[in-house]
Every structure is written in structure tokens, then in C-alpha cells.
Structure 1
Amino acid sequence: MLYTPSYQKLEQQYPDTCYECQSNDDVYNQKSCSVHKSEPPTEECPLTKERSDKCTDCRCSRSGFGIICCCFFILSIAITTALILQLSYGNSIPPGKTAHGAVATDYTNCSQIGTKILRKGGNAIDAAVAATVCMTVVAPHKTGIGGGGYIMIYSQIGPKTQLVVDFVNNTIEGQFGKANTRIPAVLKALELVQSLRGNLAWQEVIEPSVSLARTGFIASRELAYELSKHSDYEKKFHPVNGGEIYQRPILANTLELVGQHGADVLYNGSLSSEIVSKIGTDQKLLRDLASYEPQVIAAKETSLFDHTILYPPHANLVEFTLKELEKLHIQKENATTIESQIQVAEALVHANLISQHPIITRQKYAGVVAMDWQGTYVSIVTGLNSPLNVSLKTDAGFFLDTIDQRDGLINLTPVLFHDDVPNCGLSGSFNSDDPAVIGQILYNYLAVGFNLSTTIEYPRYYLLPDGVAIENDSSYSIDMAVLNQLKSSRPPSAVDPNSIMKSINMIIERRNKISSHSDSRGGGLSSRY
């Protein structure tokens, strides 16, 4: 029996959501999507891409008349599609290509903003940047332009691109570091990748979030709950209830200036003084802010279940975890056995017990993934150590971030994977802050063979400082042998696993078809066209 979260409210709010279109062995259903009320929505209806057609089976009749009819039908569809695309997108799409893409985030509006950017002729970088800026508007309890994070870009067409933008490890230096405050690095990093690889003008990418912040968005229950826990916030600002329209006009003004004049208005412009005034008056603060630059580095890679896994160089624990799994030499045909699941659980516990890294017990980050018709993946994960810190709320409408004994954002990890099968191969992207969860996701998808939605929604176990916390659901019972093994390795944690709710959003491509899924734990829906 599979883990099946409650989707009723999402079904009512988004009745057009695509439902299950893929079987557990990843054989795609070629029929059109239809709503089956007995199945949960999976958001993984495949999108055919006309990059290569070598893996598509011919469904036409072998008779001469059937072939002729089929050819005329296909030609008519192709000509009609090409005309529509030409009218809609102009010259932004090269001849012979079909514009398709997907964006997955924790907030439906942000996913939709990403695909609207794709429709305007933007690429995956434009879409992911726009969706990330949107998340800084709608989820200040998870992320914000005062935070930090990582960006990973992978291109599987033409010259291989595997680069990482790090805007965490050099954000707590100089006078900002002495003040235990992070340099607000998010916009600088987003502008960098968009200026280098984006298709659209910077202002076009920022504008949707300006409108959203100004006109307002529906506050999530999670946001309302987190705001209610910060009594200082409610004393200074009006309380927010889930489902209400929440506006952020000051942030809208800031983003509008950033869109018009670039991120430098924050770092070396009219808003710089407003930022540093929350920390001190030392002129060195202004110099540190003005001189800040993210680090651009090459991604590292390792092998797991006949796939190449890409990750940032800082992710040493992720690397160790994946190597421990690879040492097991589990064959795919044996991956579902209890023995193999126990081996995996033991390997993940062992890999993460040797680490002194603090594990965040609730989500303080926002993950965005995007893919376009060019075969470019972008994974952006941003976060805050101390969200909603009223003492560091700037006059520019966002929160600066404080640094504890250790910077928790170093655990943020974008992940990309691919195999080496030409044309018909598999590739995908997601992100997390938890190496053990990354191991579980990759094992369940690449080895066990779960489809995308099951992989993301499947119950997880979290290795916390005081023990192991195991998700469960009335419709799913973890195998008792695996459960006992986990409990014998680590005592049960006092933390309620349902309070952790770490959301993982994922996009994959197989056989030239794109699938996407936003984790129900995060409350969002992916968007694609």
C-alpha cells in the first residue's frame, strides 16, 4: 500500500490538476490526462519534447493507407503547432523545437510565474530566478532576499554545463560576520546567473513578484502559523490568518527599484544605507556590502545506481552518504526486498552519525527547480537561519539573517542526476538540506523504481540529534523489520516528524518527456506547459 496524503483541499482549489499518468515502472501512458477521483494528483503528466524522436514507438497502422493518413495527421499537427508558436513566441524558439518546460515550488503562484516566464521566451534560468524571487515574497518564514543559498545549473545539450553558484560560504565575513549578520546575498546571485545565461531582460523577470507583493497573495497556513509564533512581529504588524490576502508594499517598492536599476541599488546604491543601519554605522559595512560577489565553482559528481549525481563541492556529507549507498552494490531487481531496505537504512544512519553538522528540524529554506525545452536544469535553494527576526527587519521591507554558532545554510544542497543513455535517458533535479533524505529520494527513484509522485510523497525518516523521527500515515505502514532496525540504530526522537515537513520539489525527464511534482508537505503545485 502506498503513502497517500490528503489532497481533497488541493483538488477543490485546483480542479484542473493533472492526475496519475505514469505507472510504477515508469512506462508512460500515452493517453490524455483525465481526472480519476480515486487517485491522488501527481502533477506528472508527461510533456512530449521534439528534441529527438528516437525513443517514440510508432503507433500507426502498417498498411499503406494507414501510414499515409498518419503522416498527414502528424504533418497537420506539426504545421498548426509551429504557426501557433511562431505567433506566440516570435523568434525566441529555434525552428524544429517545441516550447515545453516545468517549474516546481512550494507555492502555486510562484510555479505559475516561472512557466509564464518560459512562455514569454525565457529559459529555465529566467524561470527559476523569477520563481525564487516570488518565494522571497510569499514565504518570509522560509527565505528572503536577506538570506543565502546555492544555485546549480546543468545543461545536457551542446557543451556540458555543470556549475554551482555559492552565496552562503562567503556571506558571513568582514564586518557583517563580526555583527553575526549575513550579507544579503540572494539578489546578487540571482542577477549574476540571469545576466550570464538568461534570455529575458532582468526587469521582466522581477516584475511578476513586484505585482504579487503589491496586490497581495493568499497567505498560507504555514506562514500564518509562523508569524503567530513571533509575538514581536504581531505587536509591530497586524496579525495574518491563513487564506487572507497579505500585501507587502514596501518590499514591492524595493523589488521595483531592483528591477529598474539592478541589484546594485541594494549593494551600492540608494538602499544600501537602509540595510546597514540595522547593524551599525561603520563604513566598513557599506564597503563589504558593495564589494560582495557570489562564488562560481564547478559541480562535483559521483555515481549511484548507474547514474551520475551532481552536487556542490561543499556537500561532503552528501558525497559520503551516496558513496556508502553505492558500496552496498544493491541490484535494482533486489531493491524492494526487506534485506535491501534494511541495508540502506543502516548505511544512511552510519553515514550521518559520523557528522557533527546540525540538522535543521524544520524547514527554513525554499527549493525551486526548473527545466526548459533546451534541456537545461536549474536548481535554486535559498534560506534563512533566523526567519522573521523583527529586530533585523529593514526599511526596505525584508529581514536580514543572523548567524548562530554554525551557519545552518551550509546544509542546503541542490542535486542533479542523469544517466548516459543517449536520447532516451533519464535526468532530474531536486534540492534539500538533509543528506539522509537525499539518499532516500535517490534510492526510491533510481533503485526501487517508484514513479515521481510516489518518490516525493513516500514517508521519510529523519536522523535528528536526539534520535530518529519516522513519518507515517494511516494508509501506509512502514515494514516492521525496517522500523525495528532504525530504532535499534537510533532511539526514537522526541520531535514529531509531522512538524518537520521538509518539502522536496522535483522535475525529471525520461524518453524526452518532462514530469514535475511539488511536495504536498510544502503545499504548492508544480506548473508546466
Structure 2
Amino acid sequence: MDEDSIDKFTSPSVYDNDGNEKTPLYAKNDNEKATLKLIISFCMVFCIGILIMLLIHVHYGSPQLVPHGNVASDNAQCSQYGIDILKMGGNAVDAAITTAFCNSVAFLHLSGLGGNGVMTIYDHRTGVGNIIDFRATYSSHFSIGIPGFVAGLFYSHEKYGLLPWKTLVEPSITLAKTGITVTKSLTEAINQNSIKSVRDENLRNWLDLVSTTIPGYKVVAPDGLINSLSLISSYGSIEFYKKMSEELIHVLKPNDVTSYKPLILPVLKQHFMNYTVITSNEGTGGPILMDILKQINNTSDDISLVNCFKDLNDDWYENSGLQISTTDVFDRYVTVISSLGSVFGSHILTNSGYILNNVLDLCHNHDESNQNNRVSSLYLPLIVVESEKICGRRLISGSADVRDGAQILMSMLTTDPQDILSINTIPRFRIKLNDIAIEYPQNFSKKTKELFERSGYNISIATLPYPTSNVVQKVEDKSVAFSDSRGSGQSITI
């Protein structure tokens, strides 16, 4: 083919005068250029629009594969409030704070503004974890410690929260205004505590009202509670503690109240059964659990676990409370233990609508040399991750009492991930020296009972309400959350 023929087959729109290839979007006149610009602009706008829609869906939607987060608690409405916070762009700490405040209204007999606790926050992507320690400090009272509940949640928000503080507290105010649902847990707690023996008039009058209400129906919140929550919502913890110091001047030293500060501590970590167990530090059930894990040496039978506690709990009283598990899209895991000490705490209902704790009654290691010292407790927040597998099995749970928490841990680790829901019906033991009280006695095998009796243990049936622990399990990108069947809660995953 000669050069003239080649020229005929070579379009002038493809090459310029210098013989260089022209751009694919070359236009030879102004009309074509305008059309091309319009097409390009449309494509760019369309792509940006799709990108924005995808980002919105990833952030707020309910994805099919990767969940945005989980909330597991003892109350369905409280779990829903926590999920709402995640949908608004909050993180696992925000969700935990909202759920904890909600629980302080729904379960006045187990937790509340007059209580205390601990929060474990673990970032799975970095492997860094911290404890927000808001346990009570010693006071001038023989039974009541300085409450840390509100200060601890406020500090957690300041350090880790994303959404405005007011947004996190408002749901609990809504719940208090609509009334408190009488739960089976509350009625069982009243049955175990005679109303006639309650000296505090405020608490006695409120419990009288509750006792005449059918479970599932609502009763009004104690006088003053809505105002207390509103004060906290608007001004944080400082004004709340100032008011507390004035109201309880005959019970607690004002300066002890207003000077209360939460602590931030490192987590404890220990390898066990191909997992890394992450829990709270000194003065809680964490170090006790670590000692137990060393003793049982990867065995999982009930008798070995009970024998370990037998030598340790000669002066331990049962610690009651609530536990919350939350996760978020950032792979941050949070577990919160909050408590009044024992059921109904000190049996004192303040004019501000919350029950005061009795943690000094339960403390097994008194150290009042420094009023800022934390009152020791058996609280056990639990986060467990499969060692050397970033997307391996991860478990978030805990308990107000290490004796319950150790049993929960063993149940989780010895249960196949696909059967994790079955741990809800596994009996747990209330352990106190040679006395063992059994939950769900119908599920307790005769063979195991005989084994305990031969080992010198006295077997009885545990009284209600049973302590609860709520669980989130993640394996790769799949997660399952469930609330303890011993309670009335409901977990939610988005």
C-alpha cells in the first residue's frame, strides 16, 4: 500500500499536523467541544453522587455483610437507644454511655446515679485498651462510698465520645418521663427484700407502688429523677456532684463528693487457651481471674474452677449489678459494669430520685488511709480475642462478680462459635466457701451434683434474680449479640 492510500485510511481527526496522536476526546469544532464538556460534567456529577450515596449507606445504613455495631443489655429499649446512637454516627463508647444511663432508669435496684463501676475500651485495630475506673471512693459513711457513675460516664465521653453529651443523656430522660416498666427482676428483688424492713421513707413508698403493679406495666419514676437527669444532660457531672454534696451533707462530706475524679488505667492481658484475655486492673476482679486462669491450666471442668475460688472467697459478698457490651464500625469494643453494690444498694432513695450504693458493706479489703482510694470490688469486664488472628474470634462480655464472670468466660471459650447462644442456659454457681447455689437446677446433671457433694460442697438452689451477662461475638466480619436469658433484655445488631 502506497503512502497516498495510507493517508486515505488515516483520519485527520486521529493525528495532528505534527503526526502525533490526538486525545480520544478531541473535538474539531466548538459545538463538539461543548457537547463533550457536557458529557464529561454529567459523568463526573453522576459518579460523585453515587460516591456520596455509598458513603451515606456505609455510615448510616444496615449493611448486608459488615455490621456497623452491636448493643447487648438487660433492657430492649436501652439497647435500641444505644443502636440509635450508632446510627447517628456515634461510636461504641457513645452507645455504652447512652445504654448505661438508660439502665440507670430501667433498673434502679441494680444500678444508677448513686452507683459506680468500670468501663473497658479496647481498640482491636491497634491492640490498645484502657479502663475508665469510676468505682466509689471511701467516705465518712460506714456503708456508702462516693458515687462515681456520672463522673465516670462523663469522663469517658470527654476522652472518647463523638456525639454531643446532651444527645447521649436525653433518651434516659424520655424513658423516665414515660414511666418505668416493672420487670421480673425488680419484682423478684422486692420478694427477696421485705418492704416493711426498709427504713427509708422515699424508697418504701416507691416500692409499695411497684409491688401493686403487674410486671410489664409502668410506674412513675421516683420524684426528682427526671430533674437530676436533666441537670446532668445540660451541665455534665460538675453541677450534679455539687447538688449531691449539698443534699447529702449529713451523709457524705461535701468536699469528698465534689473532689471525686475517675481514673484511666491500662488493661490487664493474659494468654489462655489460644486467646488473649483482656480485663480490668488492680482492685477489681481482673487480677483474681488472672490468678485463677494460671491455676486451672487450660482445664474447663466445673469442679476445678470452684476449687480455685474456695480458697479465695472467705470474706467475699456477692456483687450485684448490670453489664453492657457494645461494638462499632471502627472495631472498638466496650464493656461496662455498673452497680449499687448489692440489690437496692444502701436502701436509701434520695430526694433527687436515685438510690445510694452500699459498696463499703461488700468491700473485702478496707483501706481508708486515703479517701481518694477506690473501694475494691469484684467487677470483671471481659474482652477476649483469638491470639494472632486479627479477624479471628472476639468476645465482649463481663460480670459484676468475678465468680460469675469466670464461669461465663469458660463457657464461651469451650463452646463452638456456631453454638454460642447455648451458653444462655448453662447453669452457673453462686460460690461461697463450701456452699454452692445453682442457677437453672433443672439443667444441672445428677452426676455433677454428686461430684460436688463428694467433694464436700453443700448444694442449694440460687435465689432470684439471677445476675446477667450480655455477649457480643465477632468472627471475621460476622457478629452475633445476645442478652442473657436470665434477664429481660434484648440485643440489637445493625
Give the TM-score normalised by structure 1.
0.73
Matches within 5 A, 1:67-466: 83=53, 86=56, 100-157=68-125, 159-168=126-135, 171-173=136-138, 176-227=139-190, 229-231=194-196, 232=198, 235-237=204-206, 238-240=208-210, 241=213, 242-248=215-221, 250-268=224-242, 270-274=243-247, 276-279=248-251, 285-314=253-282, 315-325=286-296, 327-328=297-298, 344-356=301-313, 358-361=315-318, 364-388=320-344, 392-407=348-363, 410-449=377-416, 451-466=419-434
Aligned equivalents of 2:111, 2:174: Cα separation in 1? 19
Q: Deviations over 1:169-225 (max 9, x none)?
A: xx332xx24443211210100010111101100000000001101121322122134
Count, aligned residues: 420
Amino acid at match of 2:416: G
Aligned equivalents of 1:437, 1:401: Cα separation in 2? 21
**Kindly, what percent of the aligned residue pairs are identical?**
23
Determine if contact 1:305/1:447 at 8 Å carries over to the other structure: no
Aligned equivalents of 2:477, 2:261: Cα separation in 1? 37
Aligned equivalents of 1:502, 1:271: Cα separation in 2? 29
Report the CA distance shift for 1:381/1:403 in structure 2 as closer, same or farther (over 3 A).
Answer: closer
Report the CA distance shift for 1:125/1:81 in structure 2 as closer, same or farther (over 3 A).
Answer: farther
Deviation, 1:89, is: 5.4
Matches within 5 A, 1:490-501: 490-494=456-460, 496-497=461-462, 499=464, 501=466
Determine if contact 1:151/1:414 at 8 Å carries over to the other structure: yes
Report the CA distance shift for 1:166/1:423 in structure 2 as closer, same or farther (over 3 A).
Answer: closer
Aligned equivalents of 1:80, 1:506: Cα separation in 2? 37
Match of 1:63 in 2: none
Q: Deviations over 1:352-397 (max 9, x none)?
A: 0111354545x72011110111111111001112543686322211
Aligned equivalents of 2:251, 2:270: Cα separation in 1? 42
Determine if contact 1:468/1:487 at 8 Å carries over to the other structure: no
Aligned equivalents of 1:417, 1:520: Cα separation in 2? 21
Give the match's secondary structure for 2:458: coil
Aligned equivalents of 1:156, 1:234: Cα separation in 2? 43
Aligned equivalents of 1:245, 1:225: Cα separation in 2? 16
Bigger CA radius of gyration: 2
Determine if contact 2:425/2:440 at 8 Å carries over to the other structure: no
Aligned equivalent of 2:439, options 468, 471, 475: 471
Give the TM-score normalised by structure 2.
0.78
Report the CA distance shift for 1:183/1:235 in structure 2 as closer, same or farther (over 3 A).
Answer: closer
Deviation, 1:84, is: 6.8
Which sits farther off after the overlay, 188-197 or 233-242? 233-242
Report the CA distance shift for 1:526/1:271 in structure 2 as closer, same or farther (over 3 A).
Answer: same
Specify every segment of 5 or more residues in structure 1 that has no aligned partner in the other structure, as ranges. Answer: 1-78, 331-340
Determine if contact 2:225/2:354 at 8 Å carries over to the other structure: yes
Deviation, 1:142, is: 0.8
Specify every segment of 5 or more residues in structure 2 that has no aligned partner in the other structure, as ranges. Answer: 1-48, 365-375
Match of 1:6 in 2: none
Which sits farther off after the overlay, 401-410 or 187-196? 401-410
Match of 2:3 in 1: none
Aligned equivalents of 2:230, 2:55: Cα separation in 1? 30
Determine if contact 1:146/1:182 at 8 Å carries over to the other structure: no
Give the match's secondary structure for 2:90: coil
Deviation, 1:464, is: 2.4
Deviation, 1:87, is: 6.9
Aligned equivalents of 1:245, 1:421: Cα separation in 2? 49
Determine if contact 1:366/1:381 at 8 Å carries over to the other structure: yes
Aligned equivalents of 2:251, 2:403: Cα separation in 1? 36
Deviation, 1:136, is: 0.7
Which sits farther off after the overlay, 113-122 or 248-257? 248-257
Aligned equivalents of 1:219, 1:84: Cα separation in 2? 43
Report the CA distance shift for 1:357/1:313 in structure 2 as closer, same or farther (over 3 A).
Answer: farther
Aligned equivalents of 1:522, 1:391: Cα separation in 2? 22
Which sits farther off after the overlay, 205-214 or 219-228? 219-228
